[in-house]
């Protein structure tokens, strides 16, 4: 872990980065923000860890816990909303059997989340499955896709 | 100097200062929960909104600098209506358990609720609930009472230079917290406690010891390091129950952990209460660190102890001369005590063998 | 203090705490301000926020380093070399304030300049371990600042050449004219609430109240008249000398009021032995301290909250303390006790209230004559304050130095008494931590503090720890030529390699079991608590 | 057979989602294969192009043979072979796949200034931009205009900020230029956070160099050497293209030191947003670029006085900056010839919702909503009835169908209780519940409130709770008054634009659709049939054929019945998800 953090630290120095870019880099590397990594940087930069924590919890992009292997994102922008994204969300939650207090399945295979508009409103409703954008999605199609992934795992 | 008009009256003021500063200097009341003259303006609570002629919407007095010719209205029905809504909103997300709250009587929010006569609140709804408790030994953090004024966060970073807490999350779920919601681990100066407008932050050692009524407040000086911080001892029934410091003193009311929370020794059961006379002879051969043990002594009356000392000192002086006696004074005694101690050695014993441990 | 008094004719902080905020440069050397003078550190942080530059010279990465623009991590005991090489650069680059030197100082001569010559930045680097670029930068920052203040504490004074260190600091301020003006100066920060006061009050073997020398006949006469008795002629013993005299059997009785030298003085073994040699030992305290434990008579005294009086803080500010609660049991305040003993010895003091004493002090020392209890009701007053209408003095030497001119001193770097060798390869420096205070008689009786900070520890650099096979939290044995203690290792980058730090608050592992009482500064007799060589090993239970 | 053949495949986010990259790849392989066989297709190019607007019909492909252009719609990879064979090789366009007539009507009323090159040039190739007069504007500026002249030109053009508030761009530049300080910054705000808006994404994806050139000119005008693009991390393709564009511009010497051999130097850094809508607010955006929590602060001081790192800073939105090069090249008068008296030029809208042609449009300001909806948008989906137009996203409002003849400009929209906003335009029809729409936006702003000020942090939460009560049938008469009062108080007392505008969706729906609120509160009924708690589903026995489809899809097991016999819904078990309603082919399920 330390080697990876050193690399991020170097990049931060070279690119005149800031605390947000450090967190983005850590997340890029580890998939989430490990507590240890934050304390490591806190010591390197003599910046209180609380400051990192404040930033990490402010921006919705950051995750403090590891995420699922497959990330399903349903857009809930206005266009998607009026075109029925609510239904997609309900069917996905049901299909994935998500626990009450978490958006990641217990087996760690799926993370499911809503996002504010991905800017593909003209093909609403939109779902992003592992970074691939699916437009004009329906609940049936989404369930089919999810089952497909489950089958291949 | 520039001219501004506040509520119809003209004032000549320094340019660049804020409307709130002008108001404070001229004793014009504008309510605020998030402003403190010792901190950077924040503009979060919005209670200090005022109207300025020519501006489309109200602005906050704490963040808006005065400009020449500015015409400011600090109070009217409209503004007071907005302020009342703000207080109602804060109260709608507050435990409102003033009956048992440590801060009652000294709480800015309670004061505002009283001022605006808020008995029933038109706004109600979800309230923040926190189940985990902060187990640090110094500061009670009841975040359900927190109104997110951010003063604690600012004092911790701007004044104390620590940054142990930060506002985490956002919107309705925003919360002042140490990193990763752990127990607070900081310098425990308690600056945050002193500046908190509500009962969200309290000193643990004072909890349940008494509120404002009947508390005597005595101005004195901290017994620890040489900074000489002014402090106020809150005394109830012959017990110091709390220490605070006035923002208008020369250290601006700041204290450190020892000054603010280190007063418990006053009431320690270990305090010496009667003179002691040694009964167990000293073990001259041991160079080990002595272990204090009351069993080595017996209690004595003052007369007995003082007579013994006087006699012993006279005896030694007579036998070996005054220079066989020496005194060590204390850097923690008062000037007056130190003065008479050295006077005692010089004038009564007759020696200049007088020093204090921390003379260097 | 003795050092400063020699240079300027007065030994105290030249400037006051609120002024710090308007400094544009702060040079903090040998002071862990954030932990030992927390509220003064807040002013420094404010100054930095307002744009001041902060230079810190300290062998440890003290918390204030977070706010520093430049941190000089010099080896313990090399302060003179560091300060002289900074002075060297200031002179060489022509950054001195000529006019100030000409009108206000003396001793800026050939000898002084010649001595500085050898302290090139290169030489400075060799001795102190601080890169020469940083020495040069520090010199430029300090000399070019409009208002530069120097702040130091025991990290400067607790050395066998502590006075030299102070002289070297004074030289810097004299070279750059940073005296006699606001937000500058030379500022020793006093470690205890009333050190300033107890020195002011004449609790020292060579001066009466107000730094008036006991050896000057006219002064002696003045006090004899005031007190109505004949007074002794010769100077008395210093605290460290008292212990040597006691050990030798020549000092027979001691009366210790509110101090705990067993824990706070160097070489505990020596202190204990010396005190035990006494025929009669009286200790007056609020707790049964380690020193009281070996006393013949222990008298219960009152604490700050139980009495009236005044304290004088580190910036010469005299302030009132007030009685808030009644003392426990039969405990009595010191004034009553001394009154009583005096009476029994045939001298009637009979002070009814501290105010009477204060008024007498005003008669004895003109610098506080203008300070009265009724004036103090409105807040503290900084001495000198000679008359009732004088506002007090925030900063000293506005019109010049009391001794006439500020004196430059020729100072040579001398190594500390102990230098690391094969048997004792580490340098131990002792000091305080934020939460505990001095020997802990008060703070160790505060539950919250004890809950978190009850354990003694030794700070070790990670690389040293690696070499010794020590991990964070391991139990280690630290030994010196005088003794050994066992405590937890705290592996941290705070000290540099080869240096370890132990706070001296803890009786369980009393740091002063290790320190040296024989290495004293020749002038003021302060012991070298900041440099002791020690060995460290992993502790094995026998 | 030396024909010039060009094939343009749309690969914006919409295009890619529809399979644009696969289509492109298929074209490349097919042509290669064909080329190998016939060795005749030497002049053929395949291009990536950005969004051309009508994303609903993606993948759109242009086949241009010797200036003869044919556009195909809804192209899937397996259709490519036939197009290559029949059209490119044999010269017979596949007529059933070509765009229909209404495709053209989508473009007729549009006026492309900013989007002129989107869909025409390859956004990943700087030469493609240069060949369309790219970087000619900055050359003109640097070589022949003083900063004051540039500012004057922009002022004369009447360009106003396209991010929402419509502050005159030239004036903003002038204020920054006049602010004391030797270090200044220009920031491109590409943190397009409004749900339902994607103009900035499309512009950067389709023509990133125009934004860069706009920043260069702005930097020159105000005296900045450094620019930042603050862009959403949720737009990976836009970020990628922007990065490439900046690198290419540096390589070509348009960015860096001594541009065009003059003393002027300028460079751009990209800062990725991390997911906070409030960072669209200028002071919050600045905090975020500095690496802090994106909390707004009170103005004054304004960013043009004290902005990024405490230095004078201009923040312009993507579309604003993309307008700049054309204004410089074609002149202020040309630009001012579009639009109305006070609102000059064109505006891009993301036309979405219940309209037939959804997509990105650019129209001259002053056009009516009717023209946009019925001529460009082709009317309402399913020929249902228009109910309202939502503009300005969460800060805007809903304009009722009765007002669709108002011109689209800053002032008219404001008068109608909405705002221009950054360009989201969502068409709502009779099946949309306006209370639900207001609740949707409040949900959004409430979850995006930074929490710094009381009215926004707690006020929006309470507004949302009231709306939730109303839509779930627990609304009371007094709630309407409360909504109005609280909305007005939040607007008046919030710290930043987010809170000051958050109640707009509530206020405008209350103003125009009060009857819907009243139906929810007094009749416990949702007229549009959207609010789930107020709906009941019943099976009409006379229509039910007992096919069992509803029983199969019901997630809660609320439907019982034997095959071939009428089914029944058990109301206590029904969770009102509407699955049965949608699946029934016989209209046997009644919702009400």
**Helix/strand/coil (H/E/C) assignment for every residue in C328-362:** CCCCECHHHHHHHHHHHCCCCCCCCCHHHHHHHHH
C253 and B257: CB-CB below 8 Å? no
D417 and D458, same domain (yes or no): no
Chains C and D: 3 or more CB pairs within 8 Å of each other:
no
CATH number for the C426-538 domain, one of 2.30.42.10, 3.40.50.720, 2.40.40.20, 3.40.140.10? 2.40.40.20
B180 and A54: CB-CB below 8 Å? no
Q: Considering only CB atoms, which chain A residues are within 8 Å of D55?
A: 120, 122-123
Task: Tell which of D409, D429, D449 closes a domain.
Answer: D429
pLDDT of residue B76: 95
A58 and D196: CB-CB below 8 Å? no
DSSP classification of residue C270: H
D196 and A23: CB-CB below 8 Å? no
D453 and B46: CB-CB below 8 Å? yes
C411 interfaces chain B, CB cutoff of 8 Å: no
D159 and D256, same domain (yes or no): yes
* Residue-wise burial string across D489-499, b where 16 or more C-beta atoms lie within 10 A, e elsewhere: bbbbbbbbbbb
D331 and D383, same domain (yes or no): no
B306 interfaces chain C, CB cutoff of 8 Å: yes
A55 and D424: CB-CB below 8 Å? no
Q: Give the CA distances from residue A116 to residues A104, B176, D12, in Å, rounded to whole numbers and listed in that order.
A: 19, 26, 19
Tell me the nearest-neighbour CA distance from A9 into chain D, angstroms. Answer: 15
* Three-class HEC string of C66-90: HHCCEEECCCCCCHHHHHHHHHHHH
In a domain, B89, yes or no: no
- Cβ-based contacts under 8 A for chains A and B: 36
In a domain, D508, yes or no: yes
C residues 164-203 closer than 8 Å to B (CB): 189-203
What's the domain count of chain D? Answer: 5
D13 and A81: CB-CB below 8 Å? no
- Cβ-based contacts under 8 A for chains A and D: 141
Across all residues in chain B, what is the average pLDDT? 94
Quick check: do C195-382 and C426-538 share a fold? no
Q: What are phi and psi of D435, to 5 degrees?
A: -65, -40
Query: Are C255 and B328 a contacting pair, CB within 8 Å?
Result: yes
Domain range annotation of chain A:
2-58, 70-152
B7 and B71, same domain (yes or no): yes
pLDDT of residue D422: 83
In a domain, D357, yes or no: yes
D459 interfaces chain B, CB cutoff of 8 Å: yes
**Mean pLDDT value of segment C48-60:** 94
D200 and D298, same domain (yes or no): yes
Q: What dotted CATH number matches A70-152?
A: 3.40.30.10
Tell me the nearest-neighbour CA distance from D201 into chain A, angstroms. Answer: 7
pLDDT of residue D116: 85
D473 and D499, same domain (yes or no): yes
Q: Give the CA distances from residue C390 to residues C375, C382, C394, C395, in Å, rounded to whole numbers and listed in that order.
A: 11, 10, 12, 14
Name the residue with tokens 């340098």. Answer: C427
In a domain, D112, yes or no: no
Q: Considering only CB atoms, which chain B residues are within 8 Å of A38?
A: 179
Cα C91 from chain centre: 29
Pair of tokens at residue D531? 């609010």
D206 and D91, same domain (yes or no): no
Task: Supply the range of the domain harboring residue D64.
Answer: 5-99
Residue C289: helix, strand or coil by DSSP? coil
Chains touching A (at least 3 CB pairs under 8 A) are: B, D
Domain range annotation of chain C:
2-189, 195-382, 426-538
B289 and B344, same domain (yes or no): yes
Q: Which residues contact residue C319 at a Cβ distance below 8 angstroms, ignoring those fewer than 6 apart?
A: B221, B228, B230, C310, C311, C312, C313, C376, C379, C380
D195 interfaces chain A, CB cutoff of 8 Å: yes
D83 interfaces chain A, CB cutoff of 8 Å: no
In a domain, B221, yes or no: yes
Query: Are C514 and C480 a contacting pair, CB within 8 Å?
Result: yes
Q: Considering only CB atoms, which chain B residues are within 8 Å of A54?
A: 166-168
pLDDT, tens only, C347-361: 988 898 999 999 999
B179 and A38: CB-CB below 8 Å? yes
pLDDT of residue D44: 45
Query: Are C349 and C342 a contacting pair, CB within 8 Å?
Result: yes
D195 and A79: CB-CB below 8 Å? yes
B148 and D451: CB-CB below 8 Å? yes
Please tell me which of the candidates C37, C238, C320 has its beta carbon nearest to residue B225.
C37
Look at residues D322, D391, D383, D408 and name the one whose alpha carbon lies nearest to residue D110: D408
C361 and B335: CB-CB below 8 Å? yes
The C-alpha angle with vertex C336 and arms to C335 and C340, in degrees rounded to 5, equals 115
Please tell me which of the candidates A54, A59, A116 has its beta carbon nearest to residue D274.
A59
Q: Considering only CB atoms, which chain A residues are within 8 Å of B177?
A: 50, 53
Task: Tell which of B270, B288, B315 closes a domain.
Answer: B270
D444 and D312, same domain (yes or no): no
Query: Are D463 and D506 a contacting pair, CB within 8 Å?
Result: yes
D275 and A61: CB-CB below 8 Å? yes
C residues 206-245 closer than 8 Å to B (CB): 206, 208-209, 214, 223, 227-232, 234-239, 242, 245
Residue C496: helix, strand or coil by DSSP? coil
D444 and D421, same domain (yes or no): no
Residue D8: helix, strand or coil by DSSP? strand
B179 and A52: CB-CB below 8 Å? yes
B162 and A48: CB-CB below 8 Å? yes
Query: Are D463 and D486 a contacting pair, CB within 8 Å?
Result: yes
| Alpha carbon distance C36, C8 (integer Å) | 26
Q: Identify the helix (H) or strand (E) that includes residue D374.
A: none
Q: Considering only CB atoms, which chain A residues are within 8 Å of D294?
A: 58-59
Q: Give the CA distances from residue C188 to residues B326, C151, C401, in Å, rounded to whole numbers and listed in that order.
A: 28, 6, 17
Q: Considering only CB atoms, which chain A residues are within 8 Å of D235?
A: 118-119
In a domain, D104, yes or no: no
What's the domain count of chain B? Answer: 4
Q: What dotted CATH number matches C195-382?
A: 3.40.50.740
D457 and B148: CB-CB below 8 Å? yes
Q: What dotted CATH number matches C2-189?
A: 3.40.228.10
D residues 295-324 closer than 8 Å to A (CB): none
In a domain, D107, yes or no: no
Say which CATH number the domain at B195 has: 3.30.70.20
**Mean pLDDT value of segment A14-42:** 92
- pLDDT exceeds 60 at position C535: yes
B313 and C307: CB-CB below 8 Å? no
Pair of tokens at residue A67? 């995420």
Q: Considering only CB atoms, which chain C residues are within 8 Å of B221?
A: 193, 304, 311, 313, 319-321
B170 and D450: CB-CB below 8 Å? yes
D422 interfaces chain A, CB cutoff of 8 Å: no
C341 and B278: CB-CB below 8 Å? no
Tell me the nearest-neighbour CA distance from C169 into chain B, angstroms. Answer: 16
B328 and C255: CB-CB below 8 Å? yes
Look at residues D416, D392, D387 and name the one whose alpha carbon lies nearest to residue D530: D387
Query: Are B160 and C63 a contacting pair, CB within 8 Å?
Result: no
Tell me the nearest-neighbour CA distance from B255 into chain C, angstroms. Answer: 7
B93 and D458: CB-CB below 8 Å? yes
Q: Considering only CB atoms, which chain B residues are within 8 Å of C277?
A: 284
Please tell me which of the candidates D452, D460, D493 has its beta carbon nearest to residue B82.
D493
D355 and D401, same domain (yes or no): yes
B180 and A58: CB-CB below 8 Å? no
A10-14, C114-118, C394-398 — most confident range: C114-118
Q: Give the CA distances from residue B298 to residues C298, D124, D406, D456, in Å, rounded to whole numbers and listed in that order.
A: 10, 94, 100, 69
pLDDT, tens only, C489-503: 999 999 999 999 999
pLDDT, tens only, C449-499: 888 888 999 999 999 999 999 999 999 999 999 889 999 999 999 999 999
Strands of B239-244's sheet, edge to edge?
B216-221, B230-236, B239-244
| Alpha carbon distance D459, D447 (integer Å) | 12
In a domain, B57, yes or no: yes
Q: What is chain D's pLDDT, residue by residue, as a tens digit (592 residues)?
A: 456 788 888 777 777 777 888 888 888 888 888 764 433 333 344 556 666 677 778 788 888 887 788 888 888 888 888 888 888 888 888 888 888 877 777 888 888 888 888 877 888 889 989 998 999 999 999 999 999 999 999 999 999 998 877 899 999 999 999 999 989 999 999 988 788 788 888 899 889 999 999 999 999 999 999 999 999 888 888 999 999 999 999 999 999 999 999 999 999 999 998 888 899 899 999 999 999 999 999 888 899 999 999 999 999 999 999 999 999 999 999 999 999 888 899 999 989 889 888 888 999 999 999 999 999 988 998 889 999 999 988 899 999 999 999 999 999 999 998 888 888 899 999 999 999 999 999 999 999 999 999 999 999 999 999 999 999 999 999 999 999 999 999 999 999 999 999 999 999 999 999 999 999 999 999 999 888 888 888 898 888 888 888 888 888 888 988 888 889 999 888 888 788 888 888 888 888 7
Residue of A nearest to B171 (CA): A58
Q: Choose the mutation target among D14, D16, D17, D530 for the interface with A, i.e. most A CBs under 10 Å.
A: D17
Task: Supply the range of the domain harboring residue B46.
Answer: 2-75
| Alpha carbon distance D277, D296 (integer Å) | 11
Look at residues D11, D80, D9, D74 and name the one whose alpha carbon lies nearest to residue D46: D9
Query: Are C445 and C328 a contacting pair, CB within 8 Å?
Result: no
């Amino acid at each position: 872990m330390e080697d990876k953090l050193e690399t991020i630290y170097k990049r931060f120095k070279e690119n005149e980065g800031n605390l947000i870019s450090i967190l983005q880099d850590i997340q890029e590397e580890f998939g989430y923000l490990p507590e240890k990594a934050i304390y490591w940087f806190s010591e390197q930069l003599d910046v209180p860890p609380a400051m990192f924590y404040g930033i990490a919890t402010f921006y919705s992009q950051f995750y403090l816990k590891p995420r699922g292997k497959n990330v399903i994102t349903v857009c809930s922008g206005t266009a998607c909303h009026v075109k029925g994204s609510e239904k997609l969300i309900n069917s996905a939650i049901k299909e994935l059997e998500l626990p009450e207090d978490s958006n990641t399945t217990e087996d760690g295979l799926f993370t499911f989340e809503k996002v504010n508009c991905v800017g593909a409103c003209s093909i609403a409703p939109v779902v992003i499955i592992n970074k691939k954008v699916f437009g004009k999605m329906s609940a049936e199609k989404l369930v089919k896709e999810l089952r497909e992934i489950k089958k291949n795992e | 100097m520039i001219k501004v008009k506040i509520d119809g009256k003209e004032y000549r003021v320094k340019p660049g200062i804020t409307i709130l500063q002008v108001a404070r200097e001229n004793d014009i009341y504008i309510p605020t929960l998030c402003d403190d003259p010792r901190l950077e303006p924040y503009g979060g609570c919005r209670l200090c909104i005022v109207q300025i002629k020519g501006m489309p919407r109200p602005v906050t007095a704490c963040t808006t600098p005065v400009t020449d010719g500015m015409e400011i209205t600090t109070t009217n029905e409209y503004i007071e209506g907005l302020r009342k809504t703000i207080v109602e909103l804060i109260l709608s997300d507050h435990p409102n358990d003033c009956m048992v709250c440590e801060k009652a009587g000294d709480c800015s929010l309670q004061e505002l609720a009283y001022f605006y006569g808020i008995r029933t609140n038109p706004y109600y709804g979800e309230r923040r609930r926190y189940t985990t408790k902060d187990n640090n030994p110094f500061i009670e953090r009841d975040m359900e009472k927190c109104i997110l004024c951010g003063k604690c966060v600012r004092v911790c970073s701007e004044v104390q230079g620590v940054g142990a807490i930060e506002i985490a999350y956002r919107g309705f779920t925003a919360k002042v917290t140490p990193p990763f919601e752990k127990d607070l681990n900081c310098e425990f100066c308690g600056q945050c406690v002193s500046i908190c407008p509500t009962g969200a932050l309290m000193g643990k050692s004072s909890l349940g010891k008494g509120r404002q009524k009947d508390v005597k407040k005595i101005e004195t000086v901290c017994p620890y390091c040489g900074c000489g911080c002014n402090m106020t001892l809150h005394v109830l029934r012959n017990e110091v129950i709390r220490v605070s410091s006035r923002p208008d003193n020369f250290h601006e009311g700041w204290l450190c952990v020892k000054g603010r929370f280190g007063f418990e020794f006053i009431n320690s059961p270990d305090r010496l209460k009667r003179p002691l006379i040694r009964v167990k002879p000293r073990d001259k051969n041991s160079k080990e660190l002595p272990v204090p043990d009351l069993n080595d002594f017996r209690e004595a009356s003052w007369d007995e102890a003082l007579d013994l000392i006087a006699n012993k000192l006279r005896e030694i002086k007579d036998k070996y001369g005054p220079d066989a006696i020496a005194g060590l004074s204390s850097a923690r005694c008062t000037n007056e005590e130190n003065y008479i101690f050295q006077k005692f050695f010089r004038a009564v014993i007759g020696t200049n063998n007088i020093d204090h441990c921390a003379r260097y | 203090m003795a050092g400063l008094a020699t240079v300027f004719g007065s030994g105290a902080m030249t400037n006051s705490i609120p002024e710090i905020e308007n400094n544009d440069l702060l040079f903090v050397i040998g002071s862990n301000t954030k932990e030992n003078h927390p509220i003064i550190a807040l002013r420094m942080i404010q100054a930095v926020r307002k744009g001041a530059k902060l230079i810190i010279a300290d062998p440890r990465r003290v918390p204030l380093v977070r706010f520093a623009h430049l941190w000089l991590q010099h080896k313990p005991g090399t302060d003179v070399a560091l300060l002289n090489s900074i002075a060297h650069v200031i002179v060489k680059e022509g950054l001195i304030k000529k006019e100030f030197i000409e009108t206000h100082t003396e001793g800026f001569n050939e000898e002084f300049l010649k001595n500085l010559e050898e302290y090139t930045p290169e030489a400075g680097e060799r001795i102190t371990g601080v890169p020469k670029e940083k020495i040069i930068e520090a010199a430029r920052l300090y000399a070019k600042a409009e208002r530069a203040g120097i702040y130091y504490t025991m990290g400067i004074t607790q050395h066998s050449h502590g006075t030299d260190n102070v002289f070297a600091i004074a030289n810097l301020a004299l070279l750059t004219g940073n005296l006699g003006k606001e937000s500058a100066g030379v500022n020793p920060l006093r470690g205890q609430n009333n050190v300033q006061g107890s020195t002011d009050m004449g609790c020292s073997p060579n001066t009466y109240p107000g730094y008036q020398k006991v050896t000057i006949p006219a002064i002696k006469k003045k006090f004899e008249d005031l007190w109505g008795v004949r007074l002794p002629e010769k100077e008395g013993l210093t605290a460290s000398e008292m212990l040597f005299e006691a050990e030798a059997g020549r000092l027979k009785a001691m009366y210790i009021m509110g101090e705990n030298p067993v824990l706070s003085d160097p070489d505990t073994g020596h202190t204990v032995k010396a005190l035990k040699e006494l025929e009669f030992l009286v200790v007056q305290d609020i707790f049964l301290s380690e020193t009281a434990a070996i006393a013949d008579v222990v008298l219960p005294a009152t604490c700050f909250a139980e009495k009236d009086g005044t304290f004088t803080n580190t910036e010469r500010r005299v302030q009132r303390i007030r009685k808030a609660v009644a003392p426990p049991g039969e405990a009595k305040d010191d004034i009553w006790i001394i009154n009583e003993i005096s009476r029994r010895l045939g001298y009637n003091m009979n002070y009814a209230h501290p105010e009477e004493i204060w008024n007498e002090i005003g008669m004895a020392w003109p610098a506080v004559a203008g300070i009265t209890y009724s004036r103090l009701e409105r807040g503290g007053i900084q001495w000198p304050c000679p008359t009732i209408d004088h506002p007090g003095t925030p900063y000293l030497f506005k019109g010049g130095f009391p001794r006439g001119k500020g004196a430059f001193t020729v100072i040579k770097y001398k190594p500390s008494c102990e230098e690391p060798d094969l048997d004792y390869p580490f340098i131990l420096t002792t000091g305080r931590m934020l939460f505990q205070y001095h020997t802990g008689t008060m703070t160790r009786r505060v539950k919250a503090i004890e809950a978190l900070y009850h354990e003694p520890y030794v700070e070790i650099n990670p690389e040293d720890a690696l070499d010794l096979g020590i991990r964070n939290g391991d139990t280690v044995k630290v030994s010196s030529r005088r003794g050994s203690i066992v405590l937890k290792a705290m592996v941290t980058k705070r000290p540099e390699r080869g240096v370890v730090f132990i706070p001296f608050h803890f009786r369980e592992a009393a740091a002063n079991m290790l320190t040296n009482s024989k290495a004293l500064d020749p002038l003021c007799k302060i012991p070298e608590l900041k440099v002791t060589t020690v060995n460290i090993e992993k502790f094995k239970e026998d | 057979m030396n024909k010039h053949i060009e094939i343009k495949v749309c690969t914006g986010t919409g295009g890619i989602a529809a399979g644009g990259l696969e289509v492109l790849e298929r074209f490349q392989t097919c042509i290669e294969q064909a080329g190998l066989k016939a060795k005749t297709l030497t002049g053929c190019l395949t291009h990536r192009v950005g969004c051309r607007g009508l994303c609903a019909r993606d993948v759109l492909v242009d086949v241009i043979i010797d200036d003869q252009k044919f556009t195909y719609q809804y192209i899937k990879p397996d259709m490519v072979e036939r197009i290559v064979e029949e059209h490119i090789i044999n010269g017979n366009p596949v007529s059933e796949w070509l765009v229909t007539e209404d495709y053209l009507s989508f473009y007729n009323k549009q006026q492309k200034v900013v989007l002129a090159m989107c869909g025409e040039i390859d956004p990943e190739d700087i030469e493609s931009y240069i060949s369309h007069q790219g970087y000619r504007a900055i050359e003109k500026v640097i070589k022949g205009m003083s900063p004051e002249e540039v500012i004057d030109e922009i002022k004369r053009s009447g360009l106003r900020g396209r991010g929402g508030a419509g502050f005159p761009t030239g004036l903003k530049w002038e204020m920054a230029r006049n602010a004391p300080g030797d270090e200044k910054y220009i920031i491109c705000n590409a943190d397009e956070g409004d749900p339902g808006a994607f103009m900035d994404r499309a512009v950067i994806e389709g023509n990133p160099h125009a934004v860069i050139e706009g920043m260069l000119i702005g930097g020159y005008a105000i005296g900045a050497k450094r620019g930042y693009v603050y862009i959403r991390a949720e737009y990976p393709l836009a970020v990628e293209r922007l990065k490439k564009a900046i690198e290419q511009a540096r390589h070509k010497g348009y960015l860096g030191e001594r541009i065009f051999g003059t003393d002027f130097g300028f460079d751009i850094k990209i800062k990725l947003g991390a997911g906070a809508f409030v960072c669209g607010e200028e002071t919050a955006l600045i905090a975020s670029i500095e690496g802090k929590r994106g909390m707004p602060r009170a103005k004054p001081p304004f960013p043009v006085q004290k902005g990024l790192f405490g230095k004078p800073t201009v923040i312009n939105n993507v579309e604003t900056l993309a307008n700049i090069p054309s204004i410089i090249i074609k002149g202020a008068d040309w630009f001012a010839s579009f639009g109305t008296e006070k609102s000059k030029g064109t505006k891009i809208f993301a036309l979405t919702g219940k309209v037939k042609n959804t997509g990105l449009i650019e129209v001259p300001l002053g056009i009516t909503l009717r023209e946009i909806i019925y001529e460009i948008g082709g009317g309402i989906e399913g020929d249902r009835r228009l109910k309202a137009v939502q503009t300005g996203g969460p800060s805007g409002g809903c304009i009722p169908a009765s007002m669709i003849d108002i011109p689209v400009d800053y002032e008219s929209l404001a008068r109608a209780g909405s705002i221009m906003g950054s360009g989201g335009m969502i068409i709502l029809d009779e099946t949309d519940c306006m209370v639900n729409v207001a609740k949707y936006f409040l949900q959004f702003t409430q979850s995006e409130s930074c929490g710094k000020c009381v009215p926004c942090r707690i006020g929006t939460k309470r507004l949302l709770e009231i709306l939730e009560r109303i839509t779930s049938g627990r609304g009371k008469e007094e709630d309407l008054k409360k909504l109005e009062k609280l909305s007005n108080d939040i607007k008046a007392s919030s710290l930043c634009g987010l809170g000051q505008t958050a109640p707009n969706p509530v206020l405008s729906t209350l103003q125009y659709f009060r009857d819907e609120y009243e139906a929810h509160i007094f009749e416990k009924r949702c007229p549009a049939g959207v609010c789930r708690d107020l709906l009941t589903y019943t099976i009409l026995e006379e229509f039910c054929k007992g096919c069992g489809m509803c029983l199969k899809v019901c997630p809660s097991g609320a439907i019982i019945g034997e095959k071939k016999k009428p089914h029944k819904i058990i109301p206590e078990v029904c969770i009102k998800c509407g699955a049965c309603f949608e699946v029934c082919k016989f209209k046997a399920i009644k919702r009400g």
